[in-house]
Chain A
Amino acid sequence: MNLQVVYCNHQTAELDIRERLAFATSDQLSNAYEYLRSHFPQTELVLLSTCNRVELYTAQESQDDAPSHQDIAHFFSDFHEIPLTDFFDDLLERTGPDAVRHLFQVVSSVDSMVLGEPQIVSQVKEAYRTATEYEACGPLTHALFQGAIRVSSRVRTETGLTEGRVSIASVAVGEFGKSIFDRFDDKTVLVIGAGEMAEETLRYLSNEGVRRINIVNRSPDRARALAERWPGAQVHAYEKLEELLVGADVIVSTTGSEKPIVSVGQFSRIRRNHLDKPVFILDLGAPRDFEPGIGQIDDGVFLYDIDDLETTCEQNRIARGTEVERALEIIDDETDRFMREIYHRATGPIVKRLREQWHDISQTEVRSLKSKLGHLGNDDLKAIERSMERLVNKLLHPPLEALKDEAREGTPHGLLDALKRLFHIKD
């Protein structure tokens, strides 16, 4: 039994190469599986393609049927019409336990660009589902990918690798916003400015159910362009800023202004009649858009600037980093377990056949003895039969133990072949 992976990822290849090698659409995936099935009919295949990696897992019973590193590289080259020399050095190969360990690391997000990011699990699940849909999976890849999903769940449960958020917008919404409010669908969000950070924050807020979005920007065109991408978002004149500040529960500010656009005095006036209402302000501008003193106006104002959020991101990154070692221990443990199961599966049929063959011989001998020695009673024959069984078991014990020992290190192809030849065991 053989397992391999040929891959490139964010550590081995530049983004432009990854982009060119990616299988971004369902048509591309469909064609890829068609190509691979026709060229490697004896091989089980799973293709994993995300923005950070392109990986092809292959598995087959016989080493002779395994596509080589070169074969896979040619497939990428032919399929995407890219010269082999452009990417061959970026393609790596892992085989056997190393390939298993690699997948377990990928699915556990140990190998991700953002350590502990959660999307990779669903991406691996999706890749496995697609391969199954195209009937490209077999017993080995089923076992491998189901094992991988179990490993990711174990790593997530037993370590803190996926805990804590590590991007500015996710920290803002997930760690702070959701600790203030329990729901966002009844909240009014005011976006000041129309930059990328505003959009990313809106994406997280939108996932939490935000529906009322007001946008103000000095350039109405950019505000309208942003509003078009968010259903229910309304664009307002910049002059209405103070009025909109009064009604906002969440304020996201990302202007490029050189001076603060909201002063302590101005915000104190706004809060005078709304001390009971919490307001969550994300000042993502640099320089800051809200004077820092605004956070001290009253207990209901929660003001965070880009440095506060970046500090939290960094702390979470460090915390995740400390969990990597524990995650790797789990992965090693699971890899050993998986390989043991696979090797057991590989040696199982030979062991079974060898036992059957020898027991058949012993039964034949007992029957022959019975016909030759008619004076023997049933008890005598049973005693002889038991002795023969014990003899067979004792004779089989050393070779089977040797096989078991060899299987701890990998599939014992040599020993299996020797057993087949010595005892005439046919596949």
Chain B
Amino acid sequence: MVNVNVICFLASYSVVLIMELMRLLGRSPVRRTIMLLFGTAGFAAHTLYLMNRSNQANLPPLLSSSHDWLLVLAWISILMYLFLTTIDRNLAIGLFVIPLVLFLIAAAYFVSDSSMPVLNVSNLRDAQQAALRRWVMLHASLLVFGIAGVIVGLVLSLMYLVQHRRLKHKQTMQRGLRLPSLAVLSRWNWWAVIISVPLLTLGLATGFGVAFLSDEAVPVSMADPVIMIYGVAWAVMAAFFAWLLTTRRPAGKQVAWMTIWAFGFLLVTLVGLQVLAGSGLDSFHAGGTRDSSGLV
């Protein structure tokens, strides 16, 4: 098994960010080649790391721990980045995506790398255990894809605001910093919200299913801080979703700001809670304190 650690891809993505920043100095095929090489190498290392972790835990990456879960989110973001950067050399999406990826990887360092207690209970029958796993898998998958949509929405909104500011201030398009038009950004952002909020809602609902199924083995309280705060974040998202659907042609800049506030709040809350859960917060989601050996 190839020995890969978080530092391998964290360093690669940092180089990619530096190369992305160098876009502002002008176009260079050498810079782009280095950027794609490091991006691809980082992505390969990232994939190997997740596979190794999954094999060690004998669980899919989404279930093995919060640490892996955040890394899966970063992995999806990098995959989207590499795809878009390869097909459009001028699109400056990396300047917005890579910092978020680095944030997720850095956050993964501080969260638990042990699997959720609900997956380790021994007093359940095999059939119950299998059903519980399926529910947890569904719960985690829906949430991860919902949050991937949140990240997309966040990135699009940031791009919208940068583009809007440029146009309002009548500034020249910075070389190597081409962004899509406001109309495109606005439309994609709308879709990101429309897709991610139902996914998050279903993710939350399946979470209740998990709680129900595991109740006799690991009692779950609705007063669990993680569940409560997620509930609040979801309510904010749902309100935003309802506003978006009921408002006829909302102004793009307003949608962008609301997306940033709502999605930013959700992302910070989610990552913050995972960090707290990993450092002793009394929660159903806590998987114990992190094992630093995961990094080396």
Name A's B-contacting residues (CB within 8 A). Answer: 157-160, 163-164, 175-176, 178-183, 275-278, 295, 298-300, 302, 304, 308, 311-312, 315-316, 319, 323
Known contacts: A157-B29, A302-B168, A312-B172. The answer to whether A178 contacts B249 by CB under 8 A is no
A158 touches B175 (CB 8 A): no
Q: Shortest beta-carbon distance, A271 to chain B, in Å?
A: 11
Which of B238-266 touch A at CB < 8 Å?
A: 248-254
B175 touches A163 (CB 8 A): yes
Residue of A164, A178, A299, A304 most packed against chain B (CB within 10 A): A299
Contacting residues, chain A, for B173 (C-beta < 8 A): 164, 175, 179
Which of B165-201 touch A at CB < 8 Å?
A: 166-168, 170, 172-173, 175, 179-184, 187
A180 touches B181 (CB 8 A): yes
Contacting residues, chain A, for B182 (C-beta < 8 A): 179-181, 278
Task: List the B residue with the shortest CB-CB distance to A313.
Answer: B172
Q: How many residues of B contact A (CB 8 A)?
A: 27
Contacting residues, chain A, for B27 (C-beta < 8 A): 158-160, 163
Q: Shortest beta-carbon distance, A409 to chain B, in Å?
A: 31
Contacting residues, chain A, for B28 (C-beta < 8 A): 158
Whether, in the assembled complex, B164 has its beta carbon less than 8 Å from a beta carbon of chain A, the answer is yes
Residue of B163, B164, B170, B249 most packed against chain A (CB within 10 A): B170
Known contacts: A163-B27, A277-B249. The answer to whether A182 contacts B183 by CB under 8 A is yes
Residue of B167, B175, B252 most packed against chain A (CB within 10 A): B167
Q: When chains A and B are docked, how far (Å) is the Cα of A300 from the Cα of B163? A: 13
Task: List the B residue with the shortest CB-CB distance to A158.
Answer: B29
Name B's A-contacting residues (CB within 8 A). Answer: 26-29, 163-164, 166-168, 170, 172-173, 175, 179-184, 187, 248-254
Q: Shortest beta-carbon distance, B290 to chain A, in Å?
A: 44
A182 touches B184 (CB 8 A): yes
Contacting residues, chain A, for B181 (C-beta < 8 A): 178-182
Q: Shortest beta-carbon distance, A307 to chain B, in Å?
A: 9
A278 touches B172 (CB 8 A): no
Q: Shortest beta-carbon distance, B112 to chain A, in Å?
A: 43
Q: Shortest beta-carbon distance, B252 to chain A, in Å?
A: 7
Q: Shortest beta-carbon distance, B92 to chain A, in Å?
A: 13
Contacting residues, chain A, for B184 (C-beta < 8 A): 182
A176 touches B167 (CB 8 A): yes
Q: Shortest beta-carbon distance, A160 to chain B, in Å?
A: 5
Contacting residues, chain A, for B252 (C-beta < 8 A): 278, 299-300
Contacting residues, chain B, for A157 (C-beta < 8 A): 29
Q: Which of B29, B170, B179 contacts A304 (CB 8 A)?
A: B170
Residue of A157, A163, A275, A308 most packed against chain B (CB within 10 A): A163
Q: Which 9 pairs from chain A and chain B are nearest by CB?
A: A276-B249, A308-B170, A182-B183, A299-B253, A182-B181, A182-B184, A312-B172, A315-B172, A276-B251
Known contacts: A182-B183, A299-B164. The answer to whether A164 contacts B172 by CB under 8 A is yes
B251 touches A179 (CB 8 A): no
Task: List the B residue with the shortest CB-CB distance to A315.
Answer: B172
Q: When chains A and B are docked, how far (Å) is the Cα of A160 from the Cα of B177? A: 13
A300 touches B167 (CB 8 A): no
Contacting residues, chain B, for A175 (C-beta < 8 A): 172-173
Q: Which of A277, A302, A316, A323 contacts B172 (CB 8 A)?
A: A316
Task: List the B residue with the shortest CB-CB distance to A176.
Answer: B167
A160 touches B26 (CB 8 A): yes
Q: When chains A and B are docked, how far (Å) is the Cα of A182 from the Cα of B29? A: 28
Residue of B179, B187, B253 most packed against chain A (CB within 10 A): B253
Q: When chains A and B are docked, how far (Å) is the Cα of A304 from the Cα of B169? A: 10
Contacting residues, chain B, for A278 (C-beta < 8 A): 182-183, 252
Q: When chains A and B are docked, how far (Å) is the Cα of A163 from the Cα of B176? A: 9
A179 touches B29 (CB 8 A): no
Q: Shortest beta-carbon distance, A297 to chain B, in Å?
A: 12
Q: Which of A275, A298, A302, A323 contacts B167 (CB 8 A)?
A: A302
Q: When chains A and B are docked, how far (Å) is the Cα of A389 from the Cα of B170? A: 75
Beyond A179-B181, A180-B167, A182-B180, 7 extra complex contacts between A and B, CB < 8 Å: A158-B27, A160-B27, A179-B167, A277-B249, A295-B168, A299-B168, A300-B251
Q: When chains A and B are docked, how far (Å) is the Cα of A178 from the Cα of B175? A: 16
14 examples of A-B residue contacts, CB within 8 angstroms: A160-B27, A179-B163, A179-B166, A179-B167, A180-B167, A180-B182, A181-B181, A181-B182, A182-B181, A182-B184, A183-B183, A278-B252, A302-B167, A319-B175
Contacting residues, chain B, for A311 (C-beta < 8 A): 170, 172
Q: When chains A and B are docked, how far (Å) is the Cα of A130 from the Cα of B248? A: 56
Task: List the B residue with the shortest CB-CB distance to A296.
Answer: B168
Task: List the B residue with the shortest CB-CB distance to A300.
Answer: B251
A276 touches B167 (CB 8 A): no
Q: When chains A and B are docked, how far (Å) is the Cα of A164 from the Cα of B90? A: 13
Task: List the B residue with the shortest CB-CB distance to A179.
Answer: B181
Contacting residues, chain A, for B179 (C-beta < 8 A): 179
Q: Shortest beta-carbon distance, A300 to chain B, in Å?
A: 6
Contacting residues, chain B, for A276 (C-beta < 8 A): 248-251
Q: Shortest beta-carbon distance, A403 to chain B, in Å?
A: 36
Q: When chains A and B are docked, how far (Å) is the Cα of A309 from the Cα of B187? A: 28
